Amino acid sequence: MTENLHGLKKKCTSTRDGDLTKSKKRSTSEEADSIPISKGLDPHRYKMDYPCLGTCVIINNKNFHQSTQMNTRSGTDVDAALAYKTFSDLGYKITFVNDQTTRDMIRLMRTVSQEDHSSSASFVCVLLSHGDEGVIYGTDGPEKFENLTRYFKGDCCRSLVGKPKLFFIQACRGSDLDDGALIETDSVDDQTTDRIPVEADFLYAYSTAPGYYSWRNTSNGSWFLQSLCEMLQRYRGKLELMQIMTRVNCKVALHFESSSNLPGFSGKKQIPCITSMLTKDFYFPA
């Protein structure tokens, strides 16, 4: 129900709610050949020739009401600043808010969904908060995650129908700890349709698997947001989104490991979890 770090080759110190005090980064080198973005219409690629890339909503919840018994999320401001810079550099118009109650979050999501997105190619939302399975915390308590995303479904937000709606969630999904494990070194004819499922064209990128802790470094931010922003900056315009997310998974899984003064909290691992209902390939602009 809180989030939480170290780097497999990246050493950190954490408390129970996942705050870390120091880390040592391991250098990596990855390459990718640039993939030219076709000017023509590719039926298997989302259309990107809109006047603007779209809106990116960033909700950064750091301080929580005493009644929730949730700790302050030290380090989340680093995540928020990194997300702001990354998605702004990609070309998104940023809507940024801090410390939102559940009512505030719902009101914001409803308001944004009611805007005209006809000129936008996509929509992005970054949620930074405490969480549990199926819920995200406002500063005053938990809210079902689906109550925030439902406003962007096809039957509610017509101007985003057929466009990618991307949600990146840095929050716990339970209290289980991942001990890790030792390792050794159909084609369909093109068709058109008047209707598509209201759940289509969503991607949910969770910082951790269902039921598990999500780790956060008090100095460097969370494992997931660090890795996500690094890979987006490195592979924008070169790799398709799901390929980028696979590299995010690899980075988090192999380069981080928790180190804590609390018994039983050291040597823990984390793996992000991606749920995709995207119907085409999505490339961020180079």
pTM of the model: 0.84
Please list the active-site residues. Answer: 130, 172
pLDDT of residue 162: 98
- In this predicted structure, what is the pLDDT of residue 181? 85
DSSP 208-275: S-TTB-B-EETTTEEHHHHHHHHHHHHHTTTS-HHHHHHHHHHHHHHHB---BSSTT-SS-B---EEE
- What pLDDT is stored for residue 195 in this prediction? 79
Residue 31 in domain: no
Regions in the chain scoring below 70 on pLDDT: 1-40, 183-194
Q: What is the pLDDT of residue 38?
A: 42
pLDDT at position 257 is 93
In a domain, 151, yes or no: yes
Q: Supply the pLDDT for residue 184.
A: 55
Which two three-digit tokens encode residue 261? 């003064």
Is residue 282 domain-resident? no
3 closest CA partner among 181, 204, 218, 148: 218
- Residues 66-77: pLDDT tens digits? 999 999 999 999
Q: How far apart are CA 59 and CA 196, in angstroms?
A: 29
User: What pLDDT is attached to residue 194?
Assistant: 58
Instruction: Give a yes or no: residue 24 inside a domain.
Output: no
In the chain, the number of structural domains is: 1
Query: Which residue, among 151, 142, 163, 61, has the nearest Cα to 114 in the 3D structure?
Result: 151
Tell me the CATH number at 227.
Answer: 3.40.50.1460
How do beta strands 93-98 and 141-144 pair? unpaired
26: in domain: no
Please give the residue range of the domain that contains residue 232: 55-176+198-277
**In a domain? residue 191:** no
Both tokens of 118, joined, read 């006809």
Helices 223-235 and 76-90 cross at an angle (nearest 10°) of 20
Dihedral over Cα of 126, 128, 129, 134: its sign: positive
Q: Is residue 23 part of a domain?
A: no
